[in-house]
Amino acid sequence: MRPAVNQTLKRKLAHTLDLPPVILLDQATIHLMGDAEAKIINHKGLVQYTGACIKARSTQGMIEVIGNGMEIVSFSSSEIRIAGKIRQVMLK
With respect to residue 58, please indicate whether it lies within any of the assigned structural domains: yes
Residue 71 domain-assigned (yes or no): yes
CA distance 77 to 52: 22
Say if 55 falls within a structural domain: yes
Within a domain: 35: yes
- Give the structural domain span for 70: 27-91
* Residue 24 dihedral angles phi and psi, to the nearest 5°: -85, -25
Is 10 domain-assigned?
no
Classify the phi-psi angles of 26: left when phi > 0, otherwise alpha if psi is within -120 to 50, otherwise beta: left
| Residue of 68, 76, 25 lying closest to 46 (CA atoms) | 76
Structure confidence at residue 1 (pLDDT): 46
Query: What digits encode the pLDDT tens for the residues 19-71?
Result: 776 666 678 899 999 999 999 999 999 999 999 999 999 988 999 999 999 99
Q: Say which CATH number the domain at 83 has.
A: 2.60.40.2000
Q: What is the pLDDT of residue 82?
A: 98
When computed from its CA atoms, the radius of gyration of the chain, rounded to whole angstroms, is: 15
pLDDT in tens, 40-49: 999 999 999 9
In a domain, 13, yes or no: no
- The Cα 92–Cα 89 span in angstroms is 10
Structural domains of the chain, count? 1
